[in-house]
């Protein structure tokens, strides 16, 4: 009796399936999905009850449309696979070290590094590096990591492919890839952070340098100071500047220029003179950046004659070819800097500061004329300062 009921039930289901096949002529390609959460449900899915299970029959045309929607660029979920050239080199390298147990030609790895264009390529590269390291240890008895030049190019490839998390791995002292952390690799990532004004990435890189005992270099300060200046991160700049100085790094003129320019922009006279003392202990001659920063400091202290004197010193020590740059910087001191420094002050201090600058800047210009410094600035230009 139970068998007869089962046969009747099966016959009913077959008749329903035939009805569905008539609706969809291409039913021989139709896929069946079981379970309530088998996939995206659309109006073209026909639910069928069978032994307390839910069947969904999806028309092939609908399936293709859904697939295109899921992986379209507009949907933002398109998966990009490895490039063909990178995959080919990856396979050749692994075949050599795993199957043939022979050392592959060096140029294969260098070529793979140069071919990496996306995240999937970088994953293949790091897989190769890990297997090559194992092969070097077990077969060639080479215990040293890859040289710094190769590791620098690996980090450069990571930046090019925007695989920054992998790029950070090039700064690990202990890793399974045989990579040697270096400041050159760090600079590649820091330059990416500078390009994207990414302060968090900069902080991560600095932490990795410290954790992995990578020595800081003057070029590192240049990049970090630029990021801090562009992102208005004064406290971070001062924090890292102290670390550089404490580590014995001799900052370049460019780093001092950025540091002092920022202090003058904020009107932080105390720190400005501390930085100038540090700078003057390492180098005698002023650059345009450091000289004009000091001039701004004197103006903030209501010393227009001293401000004019230091501009004269800068003008005399620099070659004639730099005179247009001095004039451009002087124009910015008049038209741009007052607004910047006033903006950084508290409301109750802005009025007094504006009044002082309106009085002291013209006095500085008069002193410059008396000191035989050529300037095309006129008093009419100064009255246009929108305090």
What are the start-end ranges of the H helices in the chain? 2-23, 60-70, 84-94, 106-115, 119-138, 148-160, 164-169, 183-195, 199-211, 218-230, 234-246, 253-266, 269-282, 288-300, 304-317, 323-335, 337-343, 347-370, 379-382
pTM of structure? 0.76
Distance CA 100, CA 110 (A): 20
pLDDT tens digit sequence for 266-286: 999 999 999 999 999 999 899
pLDDT tens digit sequence for 85-140: 999 999 999 999 999 999 999 999 999 999 999 999 999 999 999 999 999 999 88
Distance CA 266, CA 346 (A): 11
Residue extents of the structural domains in the chain:
23-31+43-72, 252-387
Q: Which residue has the higher pLDDT, 61 or 215?
A: 215
Average pLDDT over residues 287-299: 97
pLDDT tens digit sequence for 78-95: 567 999 999 999 999 999
- Beta bridge pairs of residue 33: 56
For tokens 């692994």, the residue is 94
Assess contact for 208 and 171: CB atoms under 8 A: yes
């Amino acid at each position: 009796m139970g068998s007869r009921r089962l046969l009747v039930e099966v016959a009913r289901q077959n008749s329903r399936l035939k009805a569905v096949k008539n609706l969809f002529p291409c039913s021989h390609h139709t896929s069946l999905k079981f379970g309530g959460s088998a996939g995206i449900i659309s109006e073209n899915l026909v639910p069928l009850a069978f032994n307390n299970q839910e069947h969904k029959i999806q028309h092939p045309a609908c399936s293709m449309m859904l697939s295109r929607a899921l992986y379209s660029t507009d949907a933002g979920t398109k998966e990009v696979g490895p490039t063909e050239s990178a995959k080919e080199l990856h396979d050749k390298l692994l075949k050599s070290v795993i199957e043939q147990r022979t050392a592959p030609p060096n140029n294969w790895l260098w070529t793979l590094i140069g071919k990496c264009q996306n995240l999937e390529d970088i994953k293949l590269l790091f897989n190769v590096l890990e297997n090559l390291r194992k092969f070097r240890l077990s077969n060639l008895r080479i215990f040293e990591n890859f040289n710094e030049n190769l590791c620098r190019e690996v980090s450069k490839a990571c930046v090019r492919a925007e695989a920054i998390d992998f790029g950070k791995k090039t700064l690990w002292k202990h890793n399974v890839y045989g990579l040697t952390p270096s400041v050159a690799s760090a600079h590649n990532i820091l330059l990416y952070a500078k390009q994207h004004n990414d302060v968090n990435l900069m902080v991560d890189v600095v932490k990795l340098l410290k954790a992995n005992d990578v020595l800081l270099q003057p070029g590192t300060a240049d990049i970090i100071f630029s990021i801090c200046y562009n992102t208005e991160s004064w406290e971070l700049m001062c924090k890292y500047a102290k670390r550089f100085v404490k580590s014995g790094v001799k900052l370049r003129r460019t780093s001092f220029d950025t540091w002092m320019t920022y202090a003058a922009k904020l009107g932080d006279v105390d720190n400005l003179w501390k930085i100038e003392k540090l700078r003057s202990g390492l180098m005698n001659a002023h650059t345009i950046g450091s000289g004009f920063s000091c001039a701004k400091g004197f103006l903030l202290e209501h010393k227009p004659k001293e401000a004019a004197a230091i501009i004269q010193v800068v003008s005399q020590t620099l070659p004639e070819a730099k005179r247009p740059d001095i004039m451009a910087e002087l124009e910015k001191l008049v038209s741009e800097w007052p607004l910047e420094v006033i903006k950084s002050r508290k409301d109750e201090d802005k009025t007094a500061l504006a009044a002082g600058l309106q009085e002291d800047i013209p006095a500085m210009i008069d002193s410059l004329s008396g000191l035989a410094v050529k300037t095309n600035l006129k008093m009419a230009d100064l009255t246009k300062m929108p305090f």
